[in-house]
Chain A
Amino acid sequence: MSPPTHKSNAQAALTLRNVTKRFDGSAGRVTALEDITLDVREGEFLVVVGPSGCGKSTLLSLLAGLEHTDEGAIKLGDEPVHSPGRDRLVMFQQDALFPWLNALENVLFGLRLKPGLTDAERLESARYYLNLVGLGNKEKARPHELSGGMRQRVALARSLAPNPRVLLMDEPFSALDALTREQLYGDIQEIFTKRKKTIVLVTHNIREAVCLGDRVVLFSPNPGRVQQVFDVNLPRPRRMNDPALANLAAEVTTALSSHLTADKQ
């Protein structure tokens, strides 16, 4: 298990220090996250994996400023995070497309809130990202006229288009077919290296995690904790069928399932 890095690094984009988050739900009090200490470096692609209910989505909500920590602190650079902002865009697990806007207008929504662009540039950028996710011919379609996978792709385009400093993605590829997914792995790696972004991505797919991440953080549930952190030192662009990648994925899977079987006993 790699120890949390405590050096005060100026290059950390997001820092979490001893973060705990509890929910008072109908089934009593749930500790979704306990004592999380983690740095996300500037320009890092961090992937979070773990079994269902281990607090991955909660982590993203905290980073986004949509929820507040019960204990501990979260900082973006040197600023404490306490409210949502344009610098930390979230792509949610459920597509949160606005039903009163068509696909293009949905993608434009975030772009219109970005200063310093002309309307023509915004439109061009929105079209570019819609094309990227293969929906250039669905500009005018309302969300209800799209399939689940198409909606997810529009949501992906919507979160990529404004080019935020930090991108928080909650299982963005889960509703896609294998072919589109494969293509988007390539695209997102390209965007990541070209635009020097910081990305935190949540997934259930270990292969995907190893393919995309600079580091893979494995969470364990009840309460949600960091179980293990894996460094992925493979050159980009990576391909899913790379054998080195498969080996590492197997390692992560073993760690994940060892925890799960230990949990059952």
Chain B
Amino acid sequence: MKLPRFVIPTFIALAALGGWEWFVRVGHVNDVLVPAPSHILQWFWWALFDQASFESGHYLIALQKGELLPATWVTMRRLIIGFAIGAAIGIPLGALCARVRWVRDTFGVLALGLQTLPSVCWVPLALLWFGIREEAVLFVVVMGTVWAVVIAVQESVLNVQPLYLRAAQTMGSKGWHLWSRVIFPAALPGVLSGMKQGWAFAWRSLMAAEIFVVIVTGFGLGSLLNAGRELLRMDQVMGVMAVVMLVGLLADLVFFAPLERWLRRSRGLER
């Protein structure tokens, strides 16, 4: 008999978690530093719903019960807004780089350089310019997104098959029509993978910014993670890490993966 594909991985995962639990319980490791899975689950319960089991308040961060969802929301909002701004700037700028030689030789090269700069490097500047407020985080996220998008758009526009352009031109397409009906659709797969990369960079830069500084305009997942460290609550640290991972996976699962699949299928690129 053939087992369904998920059975073996599930079994292994459960076994690993059970081993971890056992290892902590028998006292091989300090359970403050390495909390057992059951503790992390408890923390999840508490952070999501519980009203009574934990005394609230801390001098550093106003830790409150049931704050996981609001924190996730704060982080997601920053991510989506920052990413949208980054894409909105990056796509036209990338197109311009592809279209105009001197823009490519200036902004294009600048983008190439700035893309290699880890975006957490922007945090000190952002703090000085904007203070410990929303704008500072958004700035860091935008800086994380925009350069990757610029480069991806520039490359994929430059790589559009000349034959498509020639065919469209002899049918009378030019200017905006050529861009919107031919160049952009032809470049879409590359643009999409650039957006995906931009999204990954945005996510990393946002976490860096939130862990690095306490932004007074809202506590996100990064603040929660850092608070866990300050409170020596490793269950919280690991719990938040799990959430960060889940959000990343979810974004891919509900947004990028279906788009890519649709694109592949409709153009016959499916393997």
Q: Could you tell me which A residues sit within 8 Å of B by CB distance?
A: 61, 64, 66, 83-86, 88-90, 92, 94, 96, 98-100, 109-110, 113-114, 142-145, 158, 162, 168
The answer to whether A113 and B171 have CB atoms under 8 Å apart is yes
The answer to whether A66 and B177 have CB atoms under 8 Å apart is no
Given A98-B182, A144-B268, A145-B268, also A90-B173 (CB < 8 A)? no
The answer to whether B166 and A84 have CB atoms under 8 Å apart is yes
Choose among B169, B170, B171, B186 the residue that contacts A100 (Cβ–Cβ < 8 A): B186
A-B contacts, CB under 8 A, total: 64
> What's the dominant secondary structure at chain B's contact region?
helix
Q: Which B residues touch A109, using CB under 8 A? A: 168, 171, 173, 181
Q: Could you tell me which B residues sit within 8 Å of A by CB distance?
A: 163-164, 166-173, 177, 181-182, 185-186, 188, 266-268
The answer to whether A96 and B169 have CB atoms under 8 Å apart is no
Please, which residue of chain B has its CB at the minimum distance from the CB of A84?
A: B169
Given A84-B169, A85-B172, A89-B171, also A100-B185 (CB < 8 A)? yes
The answer to whether B163 and A96 have CB atoms under 8 Å apart is yes
Apart from A100-B188, A142-B267, 8 more pairs, CB < 8 Å: A90-B166, A92-B166, A94-B163, A98-B168, A100-B185, A100-B267, A113-B172, A158-B171
The answer to whether B171 and A99 have CB atoms under 8 Å apart is no
Cα distance, A66 to B171, chains bound together (Å) = 12
Q: Which B residues touch A142, using CB under 8 A? A: 266-268
Given A94-B163, A96-B163, A98-B182, also A89-B170 (CB < 8 A)? yes
Cα distance, A263 to B166, chains bound together (Å) = 34
Q: Which A residues touch B170, using CB under 8 A? A: 64, 66, 84-86, 88-90, 168
Please, which residue of chain A has its CB at the minimum distance from the CB of B169?
A: A84
Cα distance, A64 to B164, chains bound together (Å) = 15
Cα distance, A90 to B166, chains bound together (Å) = 9
Please, which residue of chain B has its CB at the minimum distance from the CB of A86?
A: B172
Q: Which A residues touch B185, using CB under 8 A? A: 98, 100
Please, which residue of chain B has its CB at the minimum distance from the CB of A114?
A: B172
Choose among A84, A98, A145, A158 the residue that contacts B164 (Cβ–Cβ < 8 A): A98
